Structure 1
Protein backbone atom coordinates (compact mmCIF):
# COMPACT_ATOMS: atom_id res chain seq x y z
CA UNK A 1 0.00 0.00 0.00
CA UNK A 2 1.10 3.55 -0.68
CA UNK A 3 0.75 6.67 1.43
CA UNK A 4 -0.60 9.70 -0.44
CA UNK A 5 -0.55 13.36 0.49
CA UNK A 6 -3.83 14.82 -0.75
CA UNK A 7 -4.23 18.61 -0.86
CA UNK A 8 -7.08 20.61 -2.34
CA UNK A 9 -8.59 24.05 -2.78
CA UNK A 10 -12.30 24.28 -3.44
CA UNK A 11 -12.78 27.58 -5.23
CA UNK A 12 -16.51 28.25 -4.94
CA UNK A 13 -17.37 30.43 -1.91
CA UNK A 14 -19.22 28.55 0.80
CA UNK A 15 -18.40 25.20 -0.81
CA UNK A 16 -19.42 22.15 1.20
CA UNK A 17 -16.45 19.87 1.87
CA UNK A 18 -18.50 16.99 3.32
CA UNK A 19 -18.69 14.85 0.15
CA UNK A 20 -14.99 15.27 -0.61
CA UNK A 21 -13.96 14.49 2.96
CA UNK A 22 -16.16 11.40 3.02
CA UNK A 23 -14.57 10.18 -0.22
CA UNK A 24 -11.06 10.79 1.15
CA UNK A 25 -11.89 8.81 4.29
CA UNK A 26 -13.26 5.97 2.14
CA UNK A 27 -9.89 5.57 0.38
CA UNK A 28 -8.28 3.87 3.38
CA UNK A 29 -6.61 4.58 6.69
CA UNK A 30 -6.07 8.33 7.01
CA UNK A 31 -4.65 11.21 9.05
CA UNK A 32 -5.63 14.88 8.85
CA UNK A 33 -2.49 16.92 9.61
CA UNK A 34 -3.35 20.34 8.15
CA UNK A 35 -6.32 22.25 6.78
CA UNK A 36 -7.12 20.92 3.28
CA UNK A 37 -4.34 18.31 3.58
CA UNK A 38 -4.80 14.61 4.24
CA UNK A 39 -2.51 11.61 4.42
CA UNK A 40 -4.14 8.41 3.18
CA UNK A 41 -2.96 4.82 2.93
CA UNK A 42 -4.45 3.20 -0.18
CA UNK A 43 -3.85 0.42 -2.66
CA UNK A 44 -4.98 2.70 -5.49
CA UNK A 45 -2.59 4.57 -7.80
CA UNK A 46 -2.30 8.36 -7.57
CA UNK A 47 -4.28 8.66 -10.82
CA UNK A 48 -7.05 6.46 -9.41
CA UNK A 49 -7.16 8.52 -6.21
CA UNK A 50 -7.32 11.74 -8.23
CA UNK A 51 -10.08 10.46 -10.48
CA UNK A 52 -12.15 9.19 -7.54
CA UNK A 53 -11.91 12.53 -5.73
CA UNK A 54 -12.66 14.55 -8.86
CA UNK A 55 -16.12 12.95 -8.88
CA UNK A 56 -17.02 15.09 -5.83
CA UNK A 57 -15.30 18.31 -6.95
CA UNK A 58 -16.17 21.18 -9.27
CA UNK A 59 -14.27 21.51 -12.54
CA UNK A 60 -12.36 24.60 -11.31
CA UNK A 61 -11.28 23.13 -7.94
CA UNK A 62 -7.61 22.35 -7.40
CA UNK A 63 -6.27 18.94 -6.32
CA UNK A 64 -2.80 17.51 -5.70
CA UNK A 65 -2.20 13.81 -5.00
CA UNK A 66 1.41 12.79 -4.30
CA UNK A 67 2.90 9.54 -3.07
CA UNK A 68 4.90 9.96 0.14
CA UNK A 69 8.40 8.53 0.51
CA UNK A 70 9.91 7.07 3.65
CA UNK A 71 11.64 10.34 4.48
CA UNK A 72 9.53 12.99 6.19
CA UNK A 73 9.85 15.87 8.63
CA UNK A 74 7.19 17.89 10.42
CA UNK A 75 6.62 20.29 13.28
CA UNK A 76 3.81 20.95 15.76
CA UNK A 77 1.39 18.35 14.43
CA UNK A 78 -0.99 16.66 16.88
CA UNK A 79 0.46 13.56 18.55
CA UNK A 80 -2.02 11.23 16.85
CA UNK A 81 -0.94 12.53 13.43
CA UNK A 82 2.77 12.25 14.28
CA UNK A 83 2.20 8.69 15.51
CA UNK A 84 0.28 7.84 12.32
CA UNK A 85 3.11 9.11 10.14
CA UNK A 86 5.74 7.23 12.12
CA UNK A 87 3.73 4.02 11.93
CA UNK A 88 2.96 4.24 8.19
CA UNK A 89 6.27 5.54 6.86
Structure 2
Protein backbone atom coordinates (compact mmCIF):
# COMPACT_ATOMS: atom_id res chain seq x y z
CA UNK A 1 0.00 0.00 0.00
CA UNK A 2 1.44 3.43 -0.86
CA UNK A 3 2.81 5.37 2.11
CA UNK A 4 3.21 9.14 1.86
CA UNK A 5 5.31 11.14 4.34
CA UNK A 6 3.84 14.59 5.05
CA UNK A 7 5.63 17.49 6.70
CA UNK A 8 4.12 20.95 7.15
CA UNK A 9 4.49 24.38 8.71
CA UNK A 10 1.48 26.58 9.37
CA UNK A 11 3.15 29.97 9.25
CA UNK A 12 0.54 32.52 10.35
CA UNK A 13 0.42 32.82 14.17
CA UNK A 14 -2.76 31.50 15.76
CA UNK A 15 -3.69 29.07 13.01
CA UNK A 16 -5.62 26.03 14.08
CA UNK A 17 -4.16 22.65 13.26
CA UNK A 18 -7.48 20.89 13.98
CA UNK A 19 -8.81 20.89 10.40
CA UNK A 20 -5.51 19.75 8.94
CA UNK A 21 -5.12 16.95 11.48
CA UNK A 22 -8.74 15.88 10.97
CA UNK A 23 -8.10 15.65 7.21
CA UNK A 24 -4.91 13.62 7.76
CA UNK A 25 -6.70 11.22 10.12
CA UNK A 26 -9.37 10.62 7.46
CA UNK A 27 -6.92 8.60 5.34
CA UNK A 28 -7.22 4.79 5.64
CA UNK A 29 -3.97 4.60 7.64
CA UNK A 30 -1.89 7.22 9.43
CA UNK A 31 0.86 7.61 11.99
CA UNK A 32 2.04 10.80 13.65
CA UNK A 33 5.83 10.81 13.74
CA UNK A 34 6.51 14.26 15.15
CA UNK A 35 4.63 17.51 15.76
CA UNK A 36 4.22 18.31 12.05
CA UNK A 37 5.27 15.05 10.42
CA UNK A 38 2.92 12.20 9.52
CA UNK A 39 2.80 9.14 7.33
CA UNK A 40 -0.49 8.37 5.60
CA UNK A 41 -1.29 5.16 3.76
CA UNK A 42 -3.97 4.26 1.26
CA UNK A 43 -4.24 2.21 -1.91
CA UNK A 44 -4.74 5.23 -4.21
CA UNK A 45 -2.49 7.78 -2.51
CA UNK A 46 0.24 9.75 -4.28
CA UNK A 47 2.11 12.85 -3.12
CA UNK A 48 0.06 14.88 -5.61
CA UNK A 49 -3.27 13.57 -4.27
CA UNK A 50 -2.28 14.21 -0.66
CA UNK A 51 -1.13 17.79 -1.34
CA UNK A 52 -4.29 18.46 -3.34
CA UNK A 53 -6.45 17.08 -0.50
CA UNK A 54 -4.67 19.08 2.20
CA UNK A 55 -4.55 22.32 0.21
CA UNK A 56 -8.21 22.84 1.15
CA UNK A 57 -7.31 23.28 4.84
CA UNK A 58 -4.10 25.33 4.63
CA UNK A 59 -3.47 28.82 3.27
CA UNK A 60 -0.97 30.42 0.93
CA UNK A 61 1.52 31.25 3.69
CA UNK A 62 1.79 27.61 4.82
CA UNK A 63 4.30 25.05 3.62
CA UNK A 64 3.57 21.41 2.87
CA UNK A 65 5.84 18.61 1.65
CA UNK A 66 4.73 15.11 0.62
CA UNK A 67 6.89 12.25 -0.65
CA UNK A 68 6.20 8.58 -1.40
CA UNK A 69 8.29 6.47 0.99
CA UNK A 70 6.77 3.09 0.13
CA UNK A 71 9.36 0.36 0.66
CA UNK A 72 12.18 2.81 1.39
CA UNK A 73 14.74 2.14 4.13
CA UNK A 74 13.99 3.96 7.38
CA UNK A 75 15.60 4.47 10.74
CA UNK A 76 14.96 6.59 13.81
CA UNK A 77 13.67 6.87 17.36
CA UNK A 78 9.90 6.48 17.38
CA UNK A 79 7.40 4.84 19.69
CA UNK A 80 7.08 1.08 19.53
CA UNK A 81 3.49 1.33 18.28
CA UNK A 82 4.56 3.68 15.46
CA UNK A 83 7.32 1.28 14.39
CA UNK A 84 4.84 -1.59 14.43
CA UNK A 85 2.52 0.38 12.13
CA UNK A 86 5.39 1.36 9.80
CA UNK A 87 6.70 -2.20 9.61
CA UNK A 88 3.24 -3.53 8.87
CA UNK A 89 1.88 -0.89 6.46
CA UNK A 90 4.81 0.92 4.83
CA apart distance, 1:87: 0.7
Looking at structure 1, the residues matched to 65 and 71 of structure 2 have their Cα atoms a distance apart, in angstroms, of: 19
CA apart distance, 1:58: 0.8
* Alignment length (residue pairs): 89
Give the TM-score normalised by the residue count of structure 1. Answer: 0.91
Give the TM-score normalised by the residue count of structure 2. Answer: 0.90
RMSD: 1.2
Q: Which 4+ stretches in 1 moved above 3 angstroms? A: none
Looking at structure 1, the residues matched to 15 and 8 of structure 2 have their Cα atoms a distance apart, in angstroms, of: 12
Q: Which runs of 5+ in 1 are unaligned?
A: none
Q: Secondary structure of the residue that 1:27 maps to in structure 2?
A: coil
Q: Which runs of 5+ in 2 are unaligned?
A: none
